Structure 1
Amino acid sequence: MENVAEKKYLKKKDYITFSMARFAASAVSGLAQGYLLIFYTAVLGVKPVSVGIMFLISKIFDGVDDPIMGSFIDKTRTRWGKLRPYLIFGAIPFGIITILLFLPINSFGSELKLVYMYVTYLLYGFVGSIVGVPLDGLPAVASPNNDERTKLISISRVVGSIGEQSALVLYSLFAIFMNMKYSYMTMGIIIGLIAPVFMLMGAFSIKERIKPTLDTTKLLDGFKYLFQNKQFGIMIISNLLTFFRNLVSASIIYVVSYIYGNGSLNIAFALPGAVAAMLGMLFAPKLKKKMDAKQLFIFSTIFHSLALLLVFIVGYKVPWIVTSALMFLAMLPVGILNVVPHLMAMDTLDYWEDKTGRRQEGVTFSIISLRGKVSSALKDFVLASFLTYFMFSTPLTTINDHSPWQLEFTQSGIFMLFTIIPAVLNLASIIPMFFYKLSGNRMLDIQKRLQTKRESDSENLLEKLEENSPEVFGSSQEICVDSESSDL
């Protein structure tokens, strides 16, 4: 019998097409998170505080969708698998909603604008859960080979990081010859049309080779798990507080538009930061050999805050290229911080298996997805609130449809949102880590016990194979779905 851990299941096209699906999802996410707030405030003329409240209410309501969606997925049984149907049938609605988000509804009254914003944004979150949770879960069932799963996740995340910057590239191009209102609408149309195509290519190409277990998850299991696995809960709280660092990327468009007076400089600030973050992701595995996940998280957070403090001290009255270069340094640890939560999640899964004998990957990653949505809502709410406090407004005189003529108090406030405010507040994410116990020798002991248990289980399986090979072969065939039967 060939060892499933050594057998290769994935082909080159699987890595390519799944990464394209991840690119599409990340492109939509990058567009919405990076430009929706300024579209609502600067184009539609809605007050920042109203937008912030809408983001907070909508995202918290929407964030509950993920654990519920995870429960529905675990109960799904089709000839195509339990994940792919949601991605296939949700891809086109996801693209349509993306386009609707950025329609310039300036002719609507103020109340009708808010109604439209709430409806489309709630639909964006709901449909995003329908395609997002299955997309996150597909690597876990695409192959029984752990090395292939790891490779699939790694490649798709790098490509996804590129997808997040696609809106930045488009905006920088359109800002040269197109006014702000139509540049956002055009970005929404382009990404909204491409995203479903890429998602469908990934969904039709990848196969679910691991059959679901007979047990099904109850609807409230996801919420219970958050409180039962205390180490996982601590990790979630800590990572929830990291939303403060997202103020940096969210403030870039305001810095280049209202301090340096040129919206097309957005790419000159954001792209080096994205490259730095990707380099950080590449360095993370090497640093992980020197320190555990907890130490790596604390080190990277402090490094990021100190680098932002340096940018703040230098100030914004220097040439923009100086600020951009310093931000490259500040964004290096962000790539590491994007990887560490997944390392910690794996540790909490091992801890829970060692404690209870159960692994709950689906619940774990659906709650991590929920955390991401709540963090995004908090980031938008805090940003909108600070913009209101710093008296941000959209004056009549504009350059590239962005006015550089804000009050000096407002410009200083925007730069603080870009630097010192996230530098200080992001340190709060370290506090829960003092209660996080899965590090050092304890984690090594857990992994040793699990390894011993798994080796014992393997020996028992071999003994059973010798006694009754037909029975074992029958059960092993239930683990992997035949490639032909999983095709559409």
Structure 2
Amino acid sequence: MKKLKDIKQYSSYAFGAFGHDAFYATLSTYFMIFVTSQLFDTKNAAFNAKMIGYVTSMMVVIRIIEIAFDPIIGGVVDNTRTRWGKFKPWLLIGSLISSVGLVMIFTNFGGLATNSPYLYLVLFAIVFVILDIFYSFKDIAFWSMLPALTVDSEKRTKFGAIARFGSTLGAQGVIIVIVPIVVFFSQMFSGTHGSEQTSAGWLGFAVVIGVVSFLGALATIIGTKEEKSAIRENTEKIRFRDVFKVIGKNDQLMWLSLSYFLFAFSYVITNSLLIYYFKYVMGRAAAFSTVGVITAILGVISVALFPTLVSLIHRRAIYLGGIAMMMLGYILFLFAGSNLVVVLIAVGLFFFPYPLVFLAALMTITDSVEYGQLKSGTRNESVTLAVRPLLDKLAGAFANGVVGIAAIHAGMTGNAKPSDITNGGLLQFKTYMFFVPMALLIVSALIFMAKIKLTEAKHAEIVSELEKKLD
């Protein structure tokens, strides 16, 4: 019976992660493709570039401002007291409102994007702010459930691995289905033929992702249960003015945050520009779906290996070794050119370690809940775990800005073809896609090597000490 209960919890959490990361991939990566290729597709190239720049800048500014409130959102979740717990109400509300918002931004607001562009920008800003705030509530509530499901490191590793399994399939599954779904809805609603894409096709895609995200949240709400323990009872309502103090006093959380942000920023830049590489550098946009198949398979293998690798070489070696493998992928990319086989091998080397590094960081951040509890005397689950989504969103916000700038500078907007891209534009594109991310990865690894001391053994000592104090 207990085994069936555990399977139910693992699978429910995994499906929630599946929908959650499908949503995140759509918002952080593929929305910009819609903006640059469909939203302002007029004959006035100067107008198109200006409006793309406005939307990109607004997204970056809005997300950065909202991100500053993420720890406070974590405080709201921590302070929530309901019969359903503190996480599930925000999962429900956040998933519903953010899914509706996602569908809305994949429209031109009834033609306002070109007929009344400044009114469009105002309405877009309002919708995007609401979407981003409620996505943050959902994001923080979902991932801050992890330390609430168990305080045991081994079980946490299983929950983290199964959640990453789901999120990997969700994020990489978008790569597999995005082109077929957009083309399918383009043909259904716009009467197109072949592989032509229309704004109606992109809207249909957004509806599918919104529904999947909501159903995933519903599965987590129904299928999971918070664990009760003496350690988890050692908590009290946090004053909002103390939220940032809680984070600032946790030195391991702060240093890991800096290292992980640089890692995530590097990854999202390259991952977001990959579809541009296939479309404008290789001239093989249809082959991009192959990337999704390969990365989905590699992601499943990578996540499945994580518990074994943790027991053999521990998180520190996984984090640093993963970054080293990604660097090999970058180096191969620089020599790949338009050779599809070499490009796909480079993609594999680049992507395979990503879920492993993510999980190593997630488990360390999760363990920093007890580290902070020992230092401060009180437990703050959502405030602490709010940091990881904050970092991913911050990386995504800056990456959106980089993608918009790269597309404009390289001439990869509107109806541009591979033959239209100049050598200068190609060099600028490669600088954004490869050279800048490589530098960020190196700095990330150096910070982790020098500053992170919270190992699995150290966490076990902390839990033992907390249990003695609280008992």
Answer whether TM exceeds 0.5 for this pair: yes
> How big is the shift at 1:89?
3.0
**Which residue is 1:237 aligned to?**
258
Query: Residues of 2 paired with 1:90 and 1:449: CA distance?
Result: 36
Structure 1 stretch 120-129 or stretch 337-346: which is displaced more? 337-346
**Is the contact between residue 370 and residue 463 of structure 2 (CA under 8 Å) also seen in structure 1?**
no
Structure 1 stretch 86-95 or stretch 235-244: which is displaced more? 86-95
**Which residue is 1:261 aligned to?**
283
TM-score scaled to structure 1, two decimals?
A: 0.81
> How big is the shift at 1:166?
3.2
**Is the contact between residue 410 and residue 421 of structure 2 (CA under 8 Å) also seen in structure 1?**
no
Q: Identify the match of residue 95 of structure 1 among 91, 99, 105.
A: 99
**Counterpart check, 1:184 vs 2:202:** yes
> How big is the shift at 1:437?
4.5
Runs of 5+ unmatched residues, structure 1: 1-5, 462-488
- CA radius of gyration, larger in: 1
**Counterpart check, 1:281 vs 2:321:** no
CA shift in 2, pair 1:113/1:447, >3 Å: closer
> How big is the shift at 1:227?
2.0
> How big is the shift at 1:214?
6.0
**Counterpart check, 1:364 vs 2:384:** yes
Query: Aligned partner of 1:125: which letter?
Result: D
Query: Residues of 2 paired with 1:273 and 1:295: CA distance?
Result: 22
**Which residue is 2:357 aligned to?**
337
> How big is the shift at 1:37?
1.0
**Is the contact between residue 175 and residue 291 of structure 2 (CA under 8 Å) also seen in structure 1?**
no
Query: Aligned partner of 1:257: which letter?
Result: K
Query: Residues of 2 paired with 1:432 and 1:143: CA distance?
Result: 29
Query: Residues of 2 paired with 1:291 and 1:142: CA distance?
Result: 25
Q: Per-residue displacement from partner, 1:335-371 (whole Å, max 9, x unpaired)?
A: 2221121233245445434544444332210122211
Query: Residues of 1 paired with 2:439 and 2:376: CA distance?
Result: 39
Between the two proteins, the alignment pairs up a number of residues equal to 444
**Which residue is 1:450 aligned to?**
462
**Is the contact between residue 309 and residue 423 of structure 1 (CA under 8 Å) also seen in structure 2?**
no
> How big is the shift at 1:219?
1.0
Query: Residues of 2 paired with 1:112 and 1:452: CA distance?
Result: 58
**Is the contact between residue 333 and residue 346 of structure 2 (CA under 8 Å) also seen in structure 1?**
yes
Q: Per-residue displacement from partner, 1:139-188 (whole Å, max 9, x unpaired)?
A: 44346776555433322220121111233232221345452423311110
Q: Identify the match of residue 218 of structure 2 among 179, 182, 200.
A: 200
Q: Per-residue displacement from partner, 1:308-356 (whole Å, max 9, x unpaired)?
A: 11220x24133x2321123212222222221121233245445434544
Could you tell me the percent identity over the aligned residues?
Answer: 18
Q: Per-residue displacement from partner, 1:430-451 (whole Å, max 9, x unpaired)?
A: 24235405067xx74x457536
Aligned residue runs from structure 1 range 146-185, under 5 A: 150-173=157-180, 174-175=182-183, 177-185=195-203
Runs of 5+ unmatched residues, structure 2: 41-47, 184-193
Query: Aligned partner of 2:203: which letter?
Result: M
**Is the contact between residue 249 and residue 270 of structure 1 (CA under 8 Å) also seen in structure 2?**
no
**Which residue is 2:403 aligned to?**
383
Query: Aligned partner of 2:422: which letter?
Result: L
> How big is the shift at 1:409?
2.8
CA shift in 2, pair 1:389/1:18, >3 Å: same
CA shift in 2, pair 1:201/1:341, >3 Å: closer
**Which residue is 1:468 aligned to?**
none
Query: Aligned partner of 2:344: which letter?
Result: S
Query: Aligned partner of 2:350: which letter?
Result: A
**Is the contact between residue 9 and residue 143 of structure 1 (CA under 8 Å) also seen in structure 2?**
no
**Which residue is 2:330 aligned to?**
308
Aligned residue runs from structure 1 range 9-48, under 5 A: 10-45=5-40, 46-47=48-49, 48=52
More helix per residue: 2
Query: Residues of 1 paired with 2:74 and 2:463: CA distance?
Result: 28
**Counterpart check, 1:327 vs 2:347:** yes
**Is the contact between residue 252 and residue 270 of structure 1 (CA under 8 Å) also seen in structure 2?**
no
Q: Per-residue displacement from partner, 1:208-266 (whole Å, max 9, x unpaired)?
A: 45386561112133311232122221111111112122222101110111122232222
Query: Residues of 2 paired with 1:122 and 1:152: CA distance?
Result: 31
Query: Residues of 1 paired with 2:461 and 2:226: CA distance?
Result: 30
**Counterpart check, 1:414 vs 2:407:** no
Query: Residues of 1 paired with 2:54 and 2:350: CA distance?
Result: 31
Query: Residues of 2 paired with 1:192 and 1:375: CA distance?
Result: 22
Alignment RMSD = 3.0
Query: Aligned partner of 1:301: which letter?
Result: I
**Which residue is 1:132 aligned to?**
139
Query: Residues of 1 paired with 2:21 and 2:452: CA distance?
Result: 33
Query: Aligned partner of 1:184: which letter?
Result: W
Query: Residues of 1 paired with 2:160 and 2:312: CA distance?
Result: 23
Query: Aligned partner of 1:336: which letter?
Result: L
Q: Identify the match of residue 122 of structure 1 among 121, 129, 134.
A: 129
Query: Aligned partner of 1:453: which letter?
Result: E
Q: 3-state SS of the aligned residue for 2:240?
A: coil
Query: Aligned partner of 2:91: which letter?
Result: L
**Counterpart check, 1:69 vs 2:73:** yes
